[in-house]
Every structure is written in structure tokens, then in C-alpha cells.
Structure 1
Amino acid sequence: MEPRISFITLGVADLDRATRFYADVLKLPRIPMPDDAGVSFFEMGKTWLSLFPREELAKDAGLANDGGGFAGFTLAHNLGSIEAVDALFAELRAANVKIVKPPHRAPWGGYSGYFADSEGFLWEVAWNPHFPHA
């Protein structure tokens, strides 16, 4: 895996409130999205900060949002193709890494899966046709 984080996604209780905080208080540059996108993105160099409803982020990773199995954030590593995502997951499986959710076509138009690191922190590995830094 390349030494790079593409996204830091925070699972938030109130998306509008969190978006206003990062945009208005911290003055981070917001990436325009349709009003009904259900997610907010802020560019931080080649890493993006994303805000996503906590319940939906837990559901996307296939975990319960009960405080026990989901820490409220994920790290994301984007790759340039579906094949690259599958190849990395093959390497992870060969190394006996815990696969939380195998790669699949995602409702947002990409392809992604999740694994847990040795401490249980979640990594999403994705091909995202909307993200320019792969």
C-alpha cells in the first residue's frame, strides 16, 4: 500500500452543524456538492476531510453504530482502478488482515471495501471516479 491517506472521514451526529463549523469557523475550503449529497468535503492539500452522518458511515462499513464496534471515523486510501483495489485486498487476505467488508460496487458510483488494522481502526480502500488524487 502506498504511504498516503486520501480521506479522513468523520462520522458526525449533525451534518449541517459540523459542515458550518468546518466551513465558517475553521474556514476550510469546501468542495461544492449537490445539496442532497448527504456528505461534505473539504480540501486539505491532496487529502480531503469528509463529514458523513455517523449512522450512515457505520452502515457503509457494515458495523453497528452502538459505540462498541465503530469509532466514528475511517481512513481512506484511494487507488486508480477497481483491479488495484482487488489486488490490495488479495494482499491483505494473504497477510490475514481482518476484512470488515469486501470490495463491492458502491452506491456513490465507485468501488470500495473496508479492513481493520491491528488496533481495529477502519480503512476504506476505494476506487472513486470523483476523487482526483488517486
Structure 2
Amino acid sequence: MDQRLSLVTLGVTDLDTARAFYERLGWTPGPSPEHIVFFQAGGMVVGLWDRAALAIDSGIETDDTEDTPGSGDGWGGQVLGVNVASSGEVDEQMDSAQEAGATILRPASSRFWGGYSGLFADPDGHVWEIAYNPYWTVTEDGQTFLGDGRG
């Protein structure tokens, strides 16, 4: 699996409030689809998304009382992401994670926003997404740059 980080998605309780906070810090939103805000942060991206929607998309059961990786009240409301250049690379990275002992939260599949992604939890429950976003650019050295706002 690639040793890099290209996207951090923060689950927020109020998107407008969170966006305003980061703008007051001097951050400028980039092209973003409705209901999510992306910020270009050097060669990576920081996203803000409704916390409940992020949990559902990530396969997280926030009211789960079982000791399921990534789930429960202890979930920190963030997902770490690695963007890759093709859907085939998503499958390869997900296979590598599973072989290393990850728990698959959502198998890789086509997504409503036009890309392809899957999610897993590491042994301590930290959630990772491996994604191909056809609207973003991933350079050979792994830097990820926002596209036109569709994905």
C-alpha cells in the first residue's frame, strides 16, 4: 500500500459554521460539490462533511455498543484518505490492507459522486479510505489536487 496521505475528511456538526471557521483562519475553499467543502492544503486536501453522513458513508455505526473496529461513540469523526490514479489501484490497495489485517468497512465499489472507493479500519479502529476520483489529479509522487468541484 502507498505510504502517503492525500485526504483528511473531518466530520462536522454544522457545515456552515465549520466552513466559516476555516475561512477565518485564512483558508480558501476550493471547487466542491454541494454539502461538502474541500480545501487545497499543499499537495493534499482537507474536506469538511456532515459527521453523520461521513459515518454512514464510511460504514461506521456510531451507536454500536460492540467492539467493532471504527465504530461506537469513540469514533473521532475523521477519515484518512489515499487517492490513487485508477480504480484498479483502489482494488490493489484494499487487497493489501486486508492481507495486512485490516477490517473492511465498505468494499471498493463505484460511488454516487462518480469515483470508486473502499474503506477499512486498522487494528485500532482508525478509518482509511482508498479512492479514485476522476475529477482530481494525483501526481506520480502522490500529491492530490482538487478538480472542477464535481467530486
Q: State the TM-score, normalized to the length of structure 1.
A: 0.90
Q: Conserved in 2, the CA contact under 8 Å of 1:64 and 1:70?
A: no
Task: Give ranges in structure 2 of 5+ residues lacking alignment.
Answer: 64-71, 140-151
1:4 aligns with 2:1: no
Contact 2:101–2:123 (Cα < 8 Å) also in 1: no
Rounded Cα–Cα distance in structure 2 between residues aligned with 1:40 and 1:22:
10
Give the partner amino acid of 1:74. Answer: V
CA distance in 1, matches of 2:11, 2:38: 13
RMSD: 1.5
Report what 1:90 is aligned to: 95
TM-fit CA distance, 1:10: 0.3
Whole-angstrom distance in 2 between the partners of 1:93 and 1:123: 12
Contact 2:120 2:127 in 1 (8 A): yes
Q: Is the 8 A contact 2:2 2:93 kept in 1?
A: no
Supply the AA of the counterpart residue of 2:29: R
* Structure 1 SS opposite 2:136: coil
Distance 1:33 1:90 in 2: 30
Displacement of 1:33 = 2.9
1:12-51 correspondence runs (5 A): 12-23=12-23, 25-34=24-33, 37-51=34-48
Match of 2:145 in 1: none
Structure having greater relative contact order (Cα 8 Å, sep ≥ 6): 2
Q: Distance in 2 between matches of 1:58 and 1:69?
A: 12
1:36-88 per-residue CA deviation (whole Å, 9 max, x = no partner) reads: x1100111111111000000000001122335263200000011101011111
5+ residue gaps in structure 1? none
- TM-score, normalised to structure 2, is 0.80
The total of aligned residue pairs comes to 131
Task: Quote the offset at 1:97 in angstroms.
Answer: 1.6
